Structure 1
Amino acid sequence: MTRLPTKNRLIRMGLNIDGICVLCSEERETRDHLFLHCSVANSVWNSVLHLNGICRGTCSWDAHISWACASWKGKSLLTTIMKLAWTTFTYIIWEERNKRIYQGRSRNVNALLLAIKDSVAIQLKGREINRNDYVNNTLCNQWGIEH
């Protein structure tokens, strides 16, 4: 179970802090909100899904993890990209949250998506990928994965 020190969790621990999400300034910062329901994070994640030709609505953390466990099986390029993209997405969103809180710096949705794309492309650079496969070739082009 993930125990991130979200603002909601810190408030429950007795800290007297503002509980509003620093990414969207719209709702209380919880794990589900920060990674799935926040308008900023949701835009980034939907863009990631779009790069992979996937369209999904928002859901709870548990439903998302269940979907990922059921869907991201095997060793296909799509599965590999989805696993890398999700872990990178959660890192980038947490990093962005902390940059806004502690450094007063922020990036827009496009910059966050570019950071995810760059990270995934770097991790897959040089891997043997069957580019004769239409799906693989499309994914490589969408993600900027070089030979």
Structure 2
Amino acid sequence: MVLLDRLPTKDRLLRMRLINDCQCMFSGDPWENRDHLFLHCPMADYLWNSIFSLSGLHYKDRSWDSFLAWASATWKGKSLLTFIMKAALNAMIYIIWEEINKKLFQGRSRSAHELLQVIKYIVGIQLRGRNLNTVDSVNCNLCKHWDIV
């Protein structure tokens, strides 16, 4: 996740004097930076609250660095929940970046709900062919909420 420090978010492009406008393409917020784009933007906030809710967890708003520190300390082991949360994190970063490019270069955009469905689909693909212990009630609920299997 260190690579996110190098993503050309609008605040970085502005510092490099490549653009003059730092407005978020999703919310119109005047300052798009990494924390805003991946955590605080209303779209990102909706996605995180949904991802956490699907997983039976409660989302807590924080900075990107503290979020990563918390996730690294919490999402350990080989449980289905840990796998889903890690896969969802990676899918969300990819989907947000893809959505920026679609808006910028194709003039198209999807709703936050549609993006959540894509994240769920990506997580499901990652779990295809894996032996899931669906006898376990926690895993059974996760599979149900994430539309897995």
TM-score with structure 1 length normalisation?
A: 0.96
Amino acid at match of 1:54: L
Residue 88 of structure 2 corresponds to which residue in structure 1? 85
Moved over 4 A (4+): none
Residue from 39, 64, 67 that aligns with 1:64: 67
Structure 1 residue 123: deviation in Å? 1.1
Structure 1 alignment gaps of length 5 or more: none
- How many residue pairs get matched? 146
Q: Secondary structure in 1 aligned to 2:115?
A: helix
Q: CA RMSD in A?
A: 0.9
Distance 2:13 2:91 in 1: 24
- Residue 139 (structure 1) shift: 0.4
Q: Is the deviation greater in 52-61 or in 109-118? A: 52-61
- Are 1:13 and 2:16 an aligned pair? yes
Does the 8 Å contact 1:7/1:17 carry over to 2?
Answer: no
CA distance in 1, matches of 2:53, 2:39: 15
Output the CA distance in 2 between the equivalents of 1:102 and 1:33: 21
Using structure 2 for the length normalisation, give the TM-score.
0.94
The alignment partner of 2:6 has SS state of coil
How far the C-alpha of 1:27 sits from its partner, in A, is 3.1
Q: Is residue 138 of structure 2 the alignment partner of residue 110 of structure 1?
A: no
Query: Which residue is 2:45 aligned to?
Result: 42
Tell me which amino acid in the other structure corresponds to 2:24: C
Structure 2 unaligned segments of length 5 or more: list them.
Answer: none
Question: Which amino acid in structure 1 is aligned with residue 45 of structure 2?
Answer: N
Deviation for aligned residue 1:93: 0.8
Whole-Å separation in 2 of the counterparts to 1:145 and 1:47: 16
The residue identity in structure 2 corresponding to 1:71 is T
Residue identity opposite 2:141 in structure 1 = T
Task: Kindly indicate whether residue 121 of structure 2 is the aligned counterpart of residue 141 of structure 1.
Answer: no
Contact 2:48 2:59 (8 Å CA) reproduced: no
Q: Note if 1:23 corresponds to 2:29.
A: no
* Matched residue type, 1:35: F
Amino acid across the alignment from 1:115:
V
1:98 to 93, 101, 106: 101
1:107, distance to aligned residue in structure 2 (A): 0.4
